[in-house]
Amino acid sequence: MRIMLLGAPGAGKGTQASFIRDHYGIPQISTGDMLRAAVQAGSALGMAARKVMESGGLVSDDIILGLVQARIVEADCQRGFLFDGFPRTLPQADALKQAQIYLDVVIDIQVPDEDIIERLSGRRIHQPSGRVYHVRHSPPRVSDRDDITGESLVQRDDDREAIIRNRLDVYHAQTRPLVAYYEAWSRSGETGAPRLIQVDGTQSVDAVRQQLQQVLG
């Protein structure tokens, strides 16, 4: 099964990814998590990506495509994978299509901009695993500690209000058009056409998970 999660920053892609990943036994491929790991490691890629990410812009398509192409040939991707935050530009989506890397399902998690600032400013993450919390909506059992490892949680550098607004602008300009792209492809019935599923992301984490369970079967 090849699934892709589409949605604005803070729509809940990472949160729902853990359920889908466990349900299908497929790896989650989050380009954002991969880039943050590279920044943390201080690699050449991380150095190149850092400034762009801190400003809320998008890393170049070439870098992202190189990262993903290297990742999906690994052994754990044989039964499929879950893309989280990729593709997020039309050239990235076209590159996948041209490489005949077809998706079975594209899930668009819909959340209006006005909910996003509150979600992202209260977010805390466990950097090594990518586990996601929210100080009010999904608090950890012990304040500021990961439920599984007990390690510290951190706030992402790009979760500051001015940056969040920029990320939303970038989303509307460059990523939102992918919904129409996949809608048109899905309707066409052409080779490789995915199923496009739209879910209401404004409900609770459990309610969104239940919607996904229903539509994915």
Give the binding site for ligand AP5 (CB under 6 A): 7, 9-15, 31-32, 35, 52-53, 56-59, 64, 85-86, 88, 92, 119-120, 122-123, 132-134, 137-138, 158, 167, 201, 203-205, 208
Residues that are catalytic:
13, 88, 123, 156, 167
- When the beta carbons of 133 and 181 are compared against ligand AP5, the nearer one is 133
- Least distance (Å) between residue 159 CB and ligand AP5: 7
Alpha carbons 132 and 127: distance in angstroms, whole number: 9
Binding site for Mg ion (CB under 5 A): 13-14
CA distances from 56 to 63, 97, 105 (A): 16, 26, 27
Please choose which of ligand AP5, Mg ion, none residue 133 contacts, taking the beta carbon within 5 to 8 angstroms, the exact cut-off set by kind. ligand AP5
107 alpha carbon, distance to own chain's centre:
11
Q: Are the beta carbons of 178 and 93 closer than 8 angstroms?
A: yes
Q: Which residues contact 161 (CB under 8 A, 6 or more apart)?
A: 117, 121
Which entry of ligand AP5, Mg ion, none binds 185, CB below 5 to 8 A by partner kind? none
